[in-house]
Amino acid sequence: GIKKRLVSAGKLKSLVGLQDWVQATVKHLYWCAESSDGAPDEILPKWTSLVGHVADLHEHANPLYPRCQHGDLGKKKWLPEGLQAHEKLKSIVLSKPLLKDIPHLSTSAQTYATECFHSTVIQFAPKSTHFGYESMQARVYVAALHFNENGDRPQATTKEGKKRFLVKRPKQTKRPIASPMKGPCTYAYVQELMKETLAMNCHYPSYRAARKANSIEAPPSLSSGFERPNKDLLISSHRSRFNC
């Protein structure tokens, strides 16, 4: 919600200065929660300090967060107090509904990893394809193995040891940003699956015996709980726009 409001406002000619603070504002929101683990009372003061920070004011009245923790930031496109763009950002940052929600941010967990895992599941089990219960369960298990092995892989580097980046253009801002490029995926879990497969091959005399011993009873489908309507009654009550 915050990013969309800033991006939308930044499209106006008089508020174009907001465009330089969209990503910084979003990152600041995450930092407020992440840096306040064990001290949740600091989340709100850190968040409201953004209003002064964007105006190059780094001393704040709240004793829980009296000053910014960053060092010298060099030359930045500040938004001085009284500027229309600053007033707009202030109204968004200090909106009453947002100030009510900010203190409840999680200081120890974010949804980014969950979203990445869901993306991995879609790779192994595309939504456009129907899978039975056993097949779907197996694909989710493989997706979990793949994610656990590769979810936190290091950043890719060049032969000279320099970290590699990708240039991306987010749909909302349409402005190029540098994004770290992850290293190649590894598939060590495949070897473990092959070992388990061979072990089962030695343990059971046939595939049929192995399937019977490890069969899973699929739960009833969601649609099975609904009462099917009488088709004949629906047909008899049907009226088209031409024979009302």
Which pLDDT value is given to residue 215?
84
Which pLDDT value is given to residue 79?
92
Which pLDDT value is given to residue 226?
84
How do residues 217-236 score in pLDDT, each as one tens digit?
A: 888 887 888 888 888 888 88
Which pLDDT value is given to residue 118?
95
Q: Which residue ranges in the chain fall short of pLDDT 70?
A: 109, 172-173, 240-244
Which pLDDT value is given to residue 244?
56
Which pLDDT value is given to residue 160?
92
The residues with which 182 forms a beta bridge, in sequence order, are 155
Pairing label, strands 165-168, 177-180 = antiparallel
